[in-house]
């Protein structure tokens, strides 16, 4: 007997009208038809809309926005629709004030509503005066389009390249550099990699730029080691972009979505460029993490310094320290800082950064924080302030357990994911800590990413 289709409150491909009652963490408008929730991209809270149902699941569905019947005051006109196809600026239809509020709500919803940490104040998001042109790093896919090597960005949820020269949220000097390198590669008839046929050479172009130094690093990610006309290409890059201090080739010959391969070598200069933050100079190698929004990074780090509230007798652990940026910023206020970082290149940068900034009270350790901290706890090491800045998945239980044994007076948690932040803060608050305050910082305007800092103290 044929299976009967399940019946939902709505029918697929039919249009409905409803009021948008909320936004999801992915920025989609939420409507309800007979209590059945549907998510609609591009709709804003408070708007009355007409939408067509495009997908139905057991507990919720998705709709496509057809018409906005009454518009939210938070809506701004999108000048160029191309960015709606790229997905690089998913909040571009919202005023910047509304974006900041959306991010504050993400942090407070996760901490207060989901994790039930109700007494923590979540402050207004620290925003930018000019929320465009901020990214100091571009990782640009390269493809052949109509016979020409093109740089741009993928169409949303695909690997089809949309050629683009103005990325809006990147440093305009980086946009300019991408076009220059693209034209040089075209001149020497270098083929882009084809990920279906597995032929061709150039996969990605990575450009990083020091905001305060202007120094440029250019990385050509190639499928194979031989780069025809290597010398001419490198010479032309340096001539056209005289601020270039490093040209690297990274070889990635695997059939994978991962951008960087394991092997790299220097084609010009050294494997590093420099930038400055809070009066420190940092050397950054191509494998190392470095915050992408320099103006906001200084606000983020200043919040960490304020929340850490150090005295000159304090010993600090900066876990997930990258190239030692937070460690050095805190070293001025502490007796000793210990950084932990899993990427070896980043630790080498951190050590060198301590040396070039004449910091002699910061030491760095290569390894997983969830392995190193438990060792330190077992050795009975003392720590007064613990700073953590983990990747999106948050902290491992072994790490939290070790922190509880070491029992620092203050824990400053820097997070790029409010959901794992709330999960981890809850764990701490159930084990002898209280959450004191939370400060969202907008590191990624026009996008859904939410960064925040939380202070916890020992009860």
Ligand X SMILES: C[S@@+](CC[C@H](N)C(=O)[O-])C[C@H]1O[C@@H](n2cnc3c(N)ncnc32)[C@H](O)[C@@H]1O
Measured in whole angstroms, how far is the alpha carbon of residue 241 from the centre of its chain? Answer: 27
With CA atoms as reference, report the closest residue to 458 among 440, 442, 439, 435: 435
Closer to ligand X by Cβ: residue 271 or 370: 370
Strand-strand pairing, 148-154 and 161-163: antiparallel
Residue nearest to ligand X (CB): 322
Contacts of 215 (CB under 8 A, 6+ apart): 209, 243, 244, 245, 273, 274, 275
Cα 130 to Cα 285: distance, rounded to the nearest angstrom: 28
Residue 320 assigned ligand-binding role? yes
Residue 341 assigned ligand-binding role? yes
Least distance to ligand X, CB of residue 258, Å: 15
Q: Looking at the annotation, which residues are catalytic?
A: 416
Counting Cα atoms < 13 Å in the Cβ hemisphere of 223 gives: 23
Closer to ligand X by Cβ: residue 252 or 285: 285
Least distance to ligand X, CB of residue 184, Å: 31
Least distance to ligand X, CB of residue 217, Å: 16
Cα 375 to Cα 398: distance, rounded to the nearest angstrom: 11
Strand-strand pairing, 216-222 and 244-251: parallel
CB–CB of 373/402 below 8 Å?
yes
Closer to ligand X by Cβ: residue 175 or 370: 370
Least distance to ligand X, CB of residue 338, Å: 12
CB–CB of 404/377 below 8 Å?
no
Number of H helices, E strands in the chain: 10, 22
Measured in whole angstroms, how far is the alpha carbon of residue 230 from the centre of its chain? Answer: 32
Least distance to ligand X, CB of residue 370, Å: 6
Residue 239 assigned ligand-binding role? no
Least distance to ligand X, CB of residue 373, Å: 9
Three-state DSSP class for 296?
A: helix
Closer to ligand X by Cβ: residue 8 or 289: 289
Chain positions contacting ligand X, by CB under 6 A: 289-291, 320-322, 325-326, 340-343, 346, 368-370, 389, 391, 416
Three-state DSSP class for 319?
A: strand
Closer to ligand X by Cβ: residue 236 or 283: 283
Q: How far is CA 172 from CA 93, 175, 206, in A?
A: 21, 5, 14
Closer to ligand X by Cβ: residue 149 or 425: 425
Helix 418-429 vs helix 96-108: crossing angle, to nearest 10: 30
Residue 77 assigned ligand-binding role? no
Binding residues, as ranges, are 291, 320, 341, 389
Binding residues for S-adenosyl-L-methionine, as ranges, are 291, 320, 341, 389
């Amino acid at each position: 007997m044929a299976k009967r289709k399940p019946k939902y409150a709505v029918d697929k491909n039919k249009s409905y009208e409803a009021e948008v009652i909320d936004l999801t963490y992915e920025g989609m408008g939420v409507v309800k038809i007979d209590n059945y929730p549907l998510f609609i991209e591009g709709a804003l809270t408070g708007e009355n809309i007409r939408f067509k149902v495009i997908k139905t699941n057991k507990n919720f569905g998705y709709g496509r926005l057809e018409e906005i019947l009454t518009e939210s005051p938070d809506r701004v006109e999108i000048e160029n629709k191309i960015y709606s196809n790229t997905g690089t600026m998913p909040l571009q239809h919202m005023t910047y004030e509304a974006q900041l509020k959306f991010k504050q709500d993400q942090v407070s919803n996760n901490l207060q509503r989901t994790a039930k940490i109700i007494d923590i104040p979540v402050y207004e998001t620290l925003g930018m005066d000019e929320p465009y042109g901020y990214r100091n790093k571009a990782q640009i896919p390269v493809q052949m389009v109509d016979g020409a090597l093109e740089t741009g960005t993928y169409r949303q949820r695909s690997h089809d390249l949309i050629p683009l020269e103005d990325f809006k949220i990147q440093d305009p000097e980086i946009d300019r550099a991408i076009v220059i390198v693209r034209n040089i590669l075209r001149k020497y008839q270098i083929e882009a990699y084809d990920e279906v046929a597995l032929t061709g050479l150039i996969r990605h172009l990575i450009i990083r730029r020091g905001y305060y130094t202007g120094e440029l690093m250019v990385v050509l990610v190639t499928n194979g080691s031989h780069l025809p006309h290597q010398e001419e290409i490198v010479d032309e890059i340096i001539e056209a972009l005289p601020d270039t201090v490093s040209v690297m080739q990274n070889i990635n010959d695997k059939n994978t979505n991962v951008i960087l391969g394991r092997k790299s070598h220097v084609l010009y200069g050294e494997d590093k460029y420099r930038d400055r933050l809070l009066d420190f100079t940092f050397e950054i190698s191509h494998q190392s993490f470095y915050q992408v929004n320099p103006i906001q990074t200084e606000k983020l780090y200043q919040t960490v310094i304020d929340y850490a509230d150090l005295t000159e007798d304090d010993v600090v652990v900066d876990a997930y320290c990258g190239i030692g940026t937070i460690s050095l910023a805190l070293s001025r206020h502490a007796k000793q800082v210990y950084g932990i970082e899993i990427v070896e290149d980043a630790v080498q940068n951190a050590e060198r950064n301590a040396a070039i900034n004449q910091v002699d009270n910061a030491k760095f350790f290569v390894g997983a924080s969830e392995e190193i901290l438990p060792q330190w706890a077992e050795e009975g090491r003392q720590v007064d302030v613990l700073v953590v800045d983990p990747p999106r998945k948050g902290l491992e239980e072994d790490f939290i357990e070790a922190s509880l044994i070491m029992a620092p007076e203050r824990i400053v948690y820097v997070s790029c994911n409010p959901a794992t932040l709330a999960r981890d803060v809850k764990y701490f608050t159930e084990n002898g800590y209280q959450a004191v305050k939370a400060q969202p910082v907008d590191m990624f305007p026009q996008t859904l990413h939410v960064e925040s800092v939380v202070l916890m103290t020992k009860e």
